[in-house]
Amino acid sequence: MTAGGAALDGRSRSYMDRLLETQNQPDPISRRHHYVPRTYLKRWGFGKLKRRIWNLDTITGEVRALSVNDVCVGENFYRVVGPDAQAHNRVESMFSVADMELARVQALFENLQDPDELEFDDLIGLGVTVAVQRMRTAQQRRLRLQHDAWLVAQNPKQFESMSDPMDPYRVAGIHTELLFNSMWQSADVMTTRSIEVWDDPEGRFWTCDTPVLVPFLNNKRPALMAAPYILWPVSPYRVVALTNAPSGEKAVIRQAAPKDRGLLKKSIEQGRERWIFAPPEQRDRLPKTKLFNRRTQMRLRCSQYTPQHKYLEPPGCCVEQAEGFSVGPDVVLCDRGLHSEAPAMCEYT
Ligand SMILES: [Zn+2]
């Protein structure tokens, strides 16, 4: 719909212009960069200004209330080196533009009563918000590093790794460059889907540190185009569900069935990187005795087919890359001598 960002007008054009303008702004001072906006998380918050949020740390098993300042944050997470060889934080300014659009779209779907009021720009806004939020997390960065370790092992002489101990900001630079280069294309994938808005009058929806969720099917995450659901909780009362079943409507609002709530809960428990967030009334329901030994990992399989479904004669093969739900990188490849083992992938488990 945006032709990969080339055919933008209206609000989307101005969004892109605001993103580009941040290049000329002064460097933000903060070194603590949030990969899930604090304003987003406050919908689940409580207390004065809704700044505190109940969460389960799936690594330690602790349930605590923390400030939204202290979750989903990384020191220098978006600090990169510019063309002038100087490190700077201006990517953080670009994300603050993305955060403002996220806040607008979040409020829009949280309060939406009549889907006919949605404008074309709102659909683009939703697509780009979901696409950017999915890609900008610590989980996606870790998966990139796993992938990088795989590529280095396959071609140690030529492939230039994104990870360089002499250049601590290189990983952030490559991650964010890929993200901004692909954001409109990814947004187009989102905008071709049908929008469902799930409503729960009792406010029982949770969220997590990977707030855009693509549910696993048999421990494998389907490709975005094929995924039956892409889920984005916008508040304890509302989830935006992008489906691949055509509805013929701009959006459909419906009350969430128990199976919808179950799908979201399972997607959060499996898809989270570390933290799960619940509204205060739900804090005792957080699964603190559950063993969280699996999470999202790279999944590699040999295939006789290319992504375009072309058959490859043996001994040739094509390595299918996907995301899986497992304890560590899930690599099962043929033994024809075409692939090298990549134990370094496990450093990013
Ligand atoms: Zn193979």
215 alpha carbon to ligand 1 midpoint, in Å? Answer: 27
In one-letter notation, the amino acid at residue 328 is: G
Is the same domain home to 139 and 266? Answer: yes
- Measured in angstroms, how far is the CA atom of residue 320 from the centroid of ligand 1? 9
Q: What confidence score (pLDDT) does residue 233 get? A: 98
Quick one: tokens of 257?
Answer: 């069935």
* Length, in residues, of the chain: 349
Q: Identify the CA nearest to 78 among candidates 26, 141, 142.
A: 141
89 falls within a domain:
yes
CA–centroid distance, 325 to ligand 1, in Å, is 21
- 175 is a domain residue: yes
Pick from 266, 293, 320: which residue ends a domain? Answer: 293
Asked which of 277, 293, 309 is the last residue of a domain, the reply is 293
254 and 279 together in one domain: yes
Instruction: Kindly state whether residue 50 falls inside one of the protein's structural domains.
Output: yes
Give the distance (Å) from ligand 1 centre to CA of residue 314.
9
Same domain, yes or no: 253 and 310 = no
Same-domain pairing of 281 and 301: no
Among candidate residues 275, 123, 279, 302, the one with its CA nearest the CA of residue 210 = 275
State the DSSP string of 215-255.
Answer: --BTTEEPPTTT-SEEEEEEETTEEEEEESS--SSS-EEEE
* Per-residue confidence (pLDDT) for residue 229, from 0 to 100: 97
Instruction: Return the pLDDT at 4.
Output: 66
Q: Ligand 1: distance of its center to the CA of 326 in Å?
A: 21
Ligand 1 (single-atom ion) residues, CB below 5 Å: 302, 317, 333-334, 338
Same domain, 162 and 84: yes
In-domain check, residue 151: yes
Distance (angstroms) between ligand 1 centre and the Cα of 306 equals: 12
Asked, for residue 119, whether it belongs to a domain, the answer is yes
Positions in the chain whose pLDDT score sits under 70: 1-6
Instruction: Classify residue 215: in a domain, yes or no.
Output: yes
Q: Are residues 183 and 45 in the same domain?
A: yes
Longest distance between any two alpha carbons in the chain, whole Å: 64
Distance from the alpha carbon of residue 319 to the mean position of ligand 1, in angstroms: 6
78 & 227 share domain: yes
Nearest to 136 by CA among 36, 216, 19: 36
Q: Is residue 272 part of a domain?
A: yes
Query: Residue 97 Cα, ligand 1 centroid: separation in angstroms?
Result: 43
**Are 147 and 217 in the same domain?**
yes
Residue with tokens 């630079």: 173
Distance CA 182, CA 106 (A): 22
Q: Is residue 4 part of a domain?
A: no
Domain residue limits at 289:
10-293
Query: Are 34 and 80 in the same domain?
Result: yes
Q: Are residues 287 and 336 in the same domain?
A: no
How far away, in angstroms, is 316 Cα from ligand 1 center?
Answer: 7
Kind of pairing, strands 80-81 and 252-255?
unpaired
**Domain total for the chain?**
2
Based on the fold, state whether residues 156 and 79 are members of the same structural domain. yes
Query: How close is the Cα of 151 to the center of ligand 1, in Å?
Result: 14
Q: Do 243 and 264 have their domain in common?
A: yes
CA of 337 to the centre of ligand 1 (A): 8
pTM across the whole model: 0.94
